[in-house]
């Protein structure tokens, strides 16, 4: 069943006096449980596509539906709610809140959802155990390695059981061994939780791990292959 | 972990900047608490000086005597009224007076004067007349021709202690009021008008000269505390009415000297405006640091939005951060300001260099700053309101950032 439906979307933005066509008519359907990599060279539109799917940016034309919600016409408030309830984010630069410990970072989205503190604490500690960081629960991001921070970011993204995890170049700042361990983790979660993952990447290792590879070039889908 | 705790931790991100911001707020608050306490203290001193100098906390007069002070509108039966007043709660002392206007001459010089006929013994309890004699001695109970003269008036007349002066006025019945007085002493009240015009003499002498036949102009009453004035006024009104003195009116000092109360209100209002402007200037500095903290975290606000934090949540978080910082500054400033005020509350601060100017306004050169709830409420209120206003902009700005643009920001 389609979780994400992208219909003929275009994205243009002004860069000085020139108009940049970031996306030129993308059609894409991603089913629940897929482990999809969107690959392509810099400027191909990978991150733009992820931003549009998550409602962080608005389409110039076309429609996007996520779990039956029309993102293209949703209000800012509704988009916030959508991201909070249905989307988990993993960023290239981890983007943990620096003043919070690993556990508190994982708790953060649950705090926004209004989950009671006792339950938040339990779920966040469980999740940190699951990503192998149980003993790092009280550490702040600055006292953790890049790989550890990214695993905390993954824990933060999945602790609320979102419908989809959008990961923007999640391994770009990691060495290959750490990146591989992170992908193992996400693959396991994909299998165990039937959680949908969509990556933007130009890392061949991520492409190898993915079960579906969508290649973009100049804002268009160049190829789309399921393994 | 909640929004307030996150906001609190965010304050600790850049400790130096946070400390400087809190210090700016604390400084503004300290200045406000001290200045306002000094201002309120000067009012209290002014009221106390005025009340103790002559007026008393309240006066009993004949209805309609004030404000024209027509000597013909006299009170009779003063002995019975004094008996009632003396037995009223919170009354420390009461003194009957006759107030007249006359020309006073000595040799070839003549000046206008305010004549006060008073009971020397009772007057001692009500006013500071006996304490402000700079030369000579206080009125003798038996020497009914003795007078105390303002030192400036005596200087203008060219008269000294022991000299005989003549006064000429109009009696209550339209007759000529004239008599001679021997200067027993010179007084310096510190109130320029009094020192220039006042002549105090025995009440019987003035009553006789002005054809008052035992009538008096007023009874000045001193209370143990001015805060009991309103209830004492009500009690006395009732007691005097019950005893048949229907023509007696009881007036508090604000009714007798409305100018003082009005000038206090005016001075306080203009002070509030000046303080607000000063804090606004400090507020721009605070706004700058709030804005810097916002600029540094634009990317992070983008992340929070991506995670699903609503614009209102971001707005509240940033606003709470600013308010926490302000609250720390206000607490520190209020404590510091209060300690400085308490240090000088009893000893006072001597502004002796402006002695003459202050005398013009009936002020003592030593001002006792006065800490009160009113002072603290205004000081905290002004700083808080201005800080709350300047904190709005970065909070709203953070809330209305476009997520994708914020995420791109480095």
**In Å, how far from its chain's centre is CA B305?**
54
pLDDT of residue B355 exceeding 80: no
User: Nearest CA of chain B to the CA of A81: how many Å?
Assistant: 6
pLDDT of res. B110? 95
User: What CATH number is given to the structural domain containing A155?
Assistant: 3.40.50.300
- Say whether residue A2 is in contact with chain B using an 8 A CB cutoff: no
Interface of B with A in 287-326 (CB under 8 A): 299-300, 303-311, 313
Q: How many domains does chain A have?
A: 1
pLDDT of residue B281 exceeding 70: yes
Domain contains A9: no
- Distances from the Cα of A115 to the Cαs of A111, A156, A160, B14, in angstroms? 6, 14, 10, 30
Residues of chain A positioned with their CB less than 8 A from the CB of B2: 111
Domain contains A201: yes
Closest by Cα among B98, B87, B22, B111 to B62: B98
Beta pairing, strands B109-118 & B198-202? parallel
Give the confidence band of B166 by pLDDT, cuts at 50, 70, 90. very high
Q: Which residues contact A118 (CB under 8 A, 6 or more apart)?
A: none
pLDDT of residue B93 exceeding 90: yes
Provide the 8-state DSSP code for B101.
Answer: E
Averaged pLDDT score across all residues of chain B: 90
pLDDT of res. B10? 85
Sheet holding A212-217, edge to edge: A87-90, A164-168, A196-201, A35-39, A212-217, A220-226
Beta pairing, strands B198-202 & B91-106? unpaired
CB contact under 8 A, B2 and A111: yes
Provide the 8-state DSSP code for B53.
Answer: I
pLDDT of residue A209 exceeding 60: yes
Give the confidence band of B31 by pLDDT, cuts at 50, 70, 90. very high
Positive/negative CA dihedral, B391, B394, B395, B396: positive
Residues of chain A positioned with their CB less than 8 A from the CB of B404: 51, 56-57
For A112, which of B12, B309, B407 is closest by C-beta distance?
Answer: B309
- Say whether residue A51 is in contact with chain B using an 8 A CB cutoff: yes
Whether the complex's predicted ipTM surpasses the cut of 0.90: no
User: Nearest CA of chain A to the CA of B13: how many Å?
Assistant: 7
CB pairs under 8 A between A and B: 70
Residues of chain A positioned with their CB less than 8 A from the CB of B398: none
Neighbour count for residue B149 (Cβ, 10 Å):
31
> How close are the terminal C-alpha atoms of chain B, in Å?
27
Q: Which two tokens stand for residue A9?
A: 């979307």
Provide the 8-state DSSP code for B52.
Answer: I
Distance (Å, whole) CA A82 – CA A68: 11
Distance (Å, whole) CA B339 – CA B371: 10
CA dihedral A34, A39, A44, A46 (to 10 degrees): 40
Closest by Cα among B97, B204, B177, B112 to B150: B112
- By residue range, what is the domain housing residue A150? 34-58+83-226
* Segment B294-339, tens digit of pLDDT: 898 899 999 999 998 989 999 999 999 999 999 999 999 999 999 9
Which of A81-85, B73-77, B359-363 bottoms out in mean pLDDT, i.e. has the lowest?
B359-363
Domain contains A189: yes
Domain contains A5: no
Q: Tell me the DSSP string of B265-301.
A: HHHHHHHHHHHHHHHHHHHHHHHHHHHHHHHHTHHHH
Closest residue of A to B410, CA-based?
A93
Closest by Cα among A205, A185, A183, A182 to A193: A185
Give the confidence band of A206 by pLDDT, cuts at 50, 70, 90. very high
For B311, which of A76, A99, A109 is closest by C-beta distance?
Answer: A76
Where in chain B are the domains? 3-51+260-408, 64-246
Domain contains A44: yes
């Amino acid at each position: 069943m389609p979780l994400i439906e992208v219909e003929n979307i275009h994205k243009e933005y002004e860069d000085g006096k020139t108009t940049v066509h970031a996306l030129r008519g993308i059609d894409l359907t991603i089913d629940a449980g897929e482990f999809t990599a969107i690959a392509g060279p810099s400027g191909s539109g990978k991150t733009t596509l992820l931003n549009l799917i998550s409602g962080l940016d608005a389409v110039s034309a076309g429609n996007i539906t996520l779990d039956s919600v029309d993102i293209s016409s949703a209000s800012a408030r509704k988009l916030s709610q959508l991201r909070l309830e249905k989307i988990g984010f993993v960023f290239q630069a981890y983007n943990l809140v620096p003043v919070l410990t690993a556990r508190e970072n994982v708790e953060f989205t649950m705090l926004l959802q209004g989950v009671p503190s006792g339950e938040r604490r339990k779920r966040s500690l469980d999740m940190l155990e699951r990503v192998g960081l149980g003993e790092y629960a009280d550490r702040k991001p600055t006292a953790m390695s890049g790989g550890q921070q990214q695993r905390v970011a993954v824990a933060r993204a999945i602790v609320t059981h979102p419908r989809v995890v959008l990961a923007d170049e999640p391994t770009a700042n990691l060495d290959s061994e750490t990146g591989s361990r992170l992908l193992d983790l996400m693959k396991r979660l994909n299998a165990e939780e039937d959680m949908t993952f969509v990556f933007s990447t130009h890392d061949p290792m991520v492409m190898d791990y993915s079960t579906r590879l969508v290649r973009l070039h100049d804002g268009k889908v160049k190829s789309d292959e399921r393994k | 972990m909640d929004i307030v705790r996150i906001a609190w931790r965010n304050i600790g991100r850049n400790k130096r900047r946070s400390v400087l911001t809190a210090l700016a707020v604390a400084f503004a608050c300290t200045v406000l608490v001290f200045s306002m306490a000094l201002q309120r203290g000067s009012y209290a001193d002014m009221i106390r000086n005025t009340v103790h100098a002559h007026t008393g906390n309240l006066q009993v007069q004949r209805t309609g005597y004030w404000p024209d002070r027509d000597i013909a509108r006299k009170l009779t039966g003063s002995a019975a009224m004094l008996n009632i007043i003396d037995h009223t709660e919170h009354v420390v002392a009461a003194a009957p007076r006759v107030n007249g206007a006359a020309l006073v001459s000595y040799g070839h010089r003549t000046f206008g004067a305010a004549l006060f006929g008073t009971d020397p013994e009772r007057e001692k309890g009500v006013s500071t007349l006996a304490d402000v004699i700079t030369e000579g001695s206080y009125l003798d109970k038996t020497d009914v021709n003795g007078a105390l003269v303002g030192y400036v008036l005596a200087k203008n007349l060219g008269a000294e202690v022991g000299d005989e002066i003549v006064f000429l006025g109009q009696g209550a019945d339209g007759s000529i009021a004239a008599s001679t007085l021997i200067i027993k002493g010179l007084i310096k009240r510190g109130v320029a008008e009094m020192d220039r015009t006042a002549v105090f003499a025995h009440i019987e002498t003035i009553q006789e000269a002005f054809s008052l036949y035992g009538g008096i102009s007023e009874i000045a009453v001193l209370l143990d505390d001015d805060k009991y004035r309103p209830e004492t006024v009500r009690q006395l009104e009732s007691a005097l009415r019950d005893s048949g003195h229907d023509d007696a009116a009881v007036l508090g000092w604000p009714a007798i000297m409305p100018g003082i109360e009005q000038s206090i209100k005016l001075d306080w209002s203009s002070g509030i405006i000046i303080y607000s402007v000063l804090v606004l200037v400090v507020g721009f500095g605070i706004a700058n640091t709030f804005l810097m903290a916002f600029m540094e975290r634009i990317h992070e606000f983008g992340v929070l939005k991506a995670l699903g934090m609503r614009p209102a949540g971001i707005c509240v978080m940033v606003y709470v951060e600013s308010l926490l910082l302000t609250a720390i500054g206000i607490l520190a400033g209020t404590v510091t300001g209060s300690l400085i005020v308490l240090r000088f509350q009893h000893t006072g601060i001597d502004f002796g260099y402006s002695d003459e100017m202050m005398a013009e306004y009936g002020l003592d050169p030593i001002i006792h700053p006065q800490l009160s709830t009113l002072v603290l409420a205004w000081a905290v209120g002004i700083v808080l309101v201005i800080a709350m206003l300047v904190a709005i902009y970065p909070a709203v700005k953070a809330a209305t950032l476009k997520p994708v643009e914020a995420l791109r920001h480095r």
